[in-house]
Structure 1
Amino acid sequence: MKIILTHEVTGLGTPGDIVEVKDGYGRNYLLPQGFAIRWSKGAEKQVTVIRRAREAREIRDLGQANEVKEQLAGLKVTLSARSGNGGRLFGSITSAEIVDAVKAAGGPSLDRRRLELPGHIKSTGSYTVQIKLHPEVTASFPVNVVGAK
């Protein structure tokens, strides 16, 4: 099955890539989750729009990715969330909240889809979050979650 990726899929490609996958993988996972659309001549024209949007938010080169990695390494990100007894949060911390907290702490603007959370963050404490800045550069930074009543 030939598909066009609309989101980044680890091990498969980035948005705008035209890839060949097994029928079941495409039909049962990629298409229903919205990670891809079926390939057609009309859909192939949309690839240029998808690639243009990706290039606008993508880190340009390896040097820029290393600069952003250094900025993140020296950053202290703190998130405040409502919590109950024992530090258990009401809800969980999302990647969008982490991106906003990085921006508020004076860090660079990041793409929330490239964040890799260490599971669900549902309690107060310190966590290490990773982000894939470039195919060759992965940065990690600490996130401290504090409770608010």
Structure 2
Amino acid sequence: MKLILTQQVSGLGAPGDVVEVKDGYGRNYLVPRGFAIQWSKGAEKQITVIKKARAAREIATLEQAKEIADSLKGLKVVVKAQSGKSGRLFGAVTAGDIADAVKTAGGPDLDKRRIEIDHPIKTTGAHRVTVRLHPEISGTVSLNVA
């Protein structure tokens, strides 16, 4: 199945890329969640629009990505959430919560789609989260859930 990606998909590609995937993966996962659209000659024209939007959000250079990664290392990020007595949260900390907390801590404005959370953050305490800044560079954010 030939698809055009509309969002970043780890291990597959970036928005605007034309990819070939198995039928079930495309039909049951990528298309219903809005990660991709069906490829056609008419949809091929949308690739330029998707790539322009991606370029506007993209971190321009490798040096800029390195600077942002360095600024994230020394940043103290605190996310406040409601929890029970045992330290377990009511819900989980999302990528949007982390992006907002980084911005309020004085860090760069991050796109929540670039934040990769390996496992759901459902407890208070210290956690580490990866941020994909550039295809070659990713930074880590140390956050404290209080």
CA distance in 2, matches of 1:57, 1:23: 30
- Please name the residue that 2:106 is paired with: 106
Shift of 1:22: 2.2
Shift of 1:118: 3.4
Runs of 4 or more off by more than 6 Å in structure 1?
none
Do residues 33 (structure 1) and 33 (structure 2) align?
yes
Identity of counterpart residues, as a percentage? 61
Structure having the larger proportion of residues in helix: 1
CA distance in 2, matches of 1:24, 1:132: 27
Do residues 19 (structure 1) and 19 (structure 2) align?
yes
Shift of 1:23: 2.1
CA distance in 2, matches of 1:53, 1:16: 10
User: SS state of the match for residue 81, structure 1?
Assistant: coil
CA deviation string 1:113-141 (max 9, x = no partner): 11111311111100001111111101112
- Please name the residue that 1:120 is paired with: 120
- Please name the residue that 1:134 is paired with: 134
- Please name the residue that 1:65 is paired with: 65
CA contact (8 A) 1:103 1:109 kept: yes
CA deviation string 1:30-66 (max 9, x = no partner): 1122211001122111111111111111111110000
- Please name the residue that 2:77 is paired with: 77
User: SS state of the match for residue 142, structure 2?
Assistant: strand
User: SS state of the match for residue 82, structure 1?
Assistant: coil
Do residues 54 (structure 1) and 54 (structure 2) align?
yes
Shift of 1:109: 0.6
Stretches of structure 2 lacking an aligned partner (at least 5 in a row): none
CA distance in 1, matches of 2:23, 2:87: 45
Stretches of structure 1 lacking an aligned partner (at least 5 in a row): none
CA distance in 2, matches of 1:142, 1:54: 27
TM-score (norm. length: structure 2): 0.95
CA contact (8 A) 1:16 1:51 kept: yes
Structure having the larger proportion of residues in strand: 1
